[in-house]
Amino acid sequence: MAYNRNKLIVYGAAGIVIALAVLAFLPTRTETNVATGVSLELIQGYGFQTVKISEDAVAIESLVIDIDGIEAQMPSGEWLRISDGGSWDIWSELETTYAIETYVLGYSRIRLFFDPDGSSVTLADGSMVQFGVSSIPLEINLKEPYVGESTDVDLRLSLGQGTGSNYVLPDLMIELGTSKLSAEIVE
């Protein structure tokens, strides 16, 4: 099959002109809008990391996590549910206490389960934003294994020893924060 050189040049030039016309008339966006989002990452054996990405410099007013249940690891290695948990605003309350409903002796590790649907973030301007919480449970060592005699005890969870940083990019603000979570049995 023989190729006609003139036809090849004409069709090639026409294809280039059509491609340039399509590119020239395609609608383009000159700016990108980022919806404010906050996520809570779990750091096993340590605590939480919060990540907020936004175009605005509006601060977080409250960050409520819903602890769906708490388990303790028995000396045998099996896990036993000890509390139903509850809500905790980790942004404004550095400490919370949950009643232990099942008496267990000698455990030194707990596991927290989170309900993503019961968790929420409210910003200083009153708006609520998208919030992501992992469905993987968080395991934390107790400060000391509980070996007391009392059956009327509570689990105290405390946040502290965290770090925070802000990164400002053109039209984008990223806030990172980590908080160490500690747990102890109190009578």
pLDDT at position 24, please?
Answer: 66
Q: Which of 11-15, 86-90, 122-126, 183-187 has the lowest mean pLDDT?
A: 11-15
Q: Give pTM, 2 decimals.
A: 0.74
Cβ neighbourhood burial of 185 (10 Å; 0-12, 13-18, 19+): buried
Place of tokens 């099942």: 102
pLDDT confidence band for 172 (50 / 70 / 90):
confident
Q: Which residue has the higher pLDDT, 125 or 3?
A: 125
Kindly report, residue by residue over 73-129, the tens digit of the pLDDT.
888 889 999 999 899 999 889 999 999 888 777 788 999 999 888 888 888 888 888
Contacts of 133 (CB under 8 A, 6+ apart): 39, 40, 65, 114, 115, 116, 119
| Least confidently predicted of 5-9, 116-120, 144-148 | 5-9
In percent, the amount of the chain with pLDDT more than 90 equals 21
Tokens of 185: 């049995």
- pLDDT bin (cut points 50, 70, 90) of residue 136 is confident
Q: Which tokens belong to 129?
A: 């934003």
Q: How far apart are CA 41 and CA 49, in angstroms?
A: 5
Asked if the model's pLDDT at residue 1 lies above 70, the reply is no
Mean pLDDT over 23-51 rounds to 75
Q: Taking 90 as the threshold, does the pLDDT of residue 169 lie above it? A: no
pLDDT of residue 88: 93
Residue-by-residue DSSP string for the chain? -PPPHHHHHHHHHHHHHHHHHHHHHS---S------EEEEEEETTTEEEEEEEESS-PPEEEEEEEEEEEEEE-TTS-EEEEE--EEEETTT-SEEEEE--S---S--EEEEEE-GGG-EEEETTS-EEEEEE-SSPEEEEBSS----S-S--EEEEEEEEEEEEEEEETTEEEEEEEEEEEEEEE-
* Amino acid identity, position 47: G
Domain ranges of the chain: 37-186
Q: Residue 16 contacts by C-beta under 8 Å, 6 or more apart in sequence?
A: none
Average pLDDT over residues 61-79: 90
pLDDT at site 156 = 93
Instruction: Please provide the average confidence, as pLDDT, over all residues in the chain.
Output: 82
Distance CA 157, CA 82 (A): 14
Model confidence at 158, pLDDT cuts 50, 70, 90, reads: very high
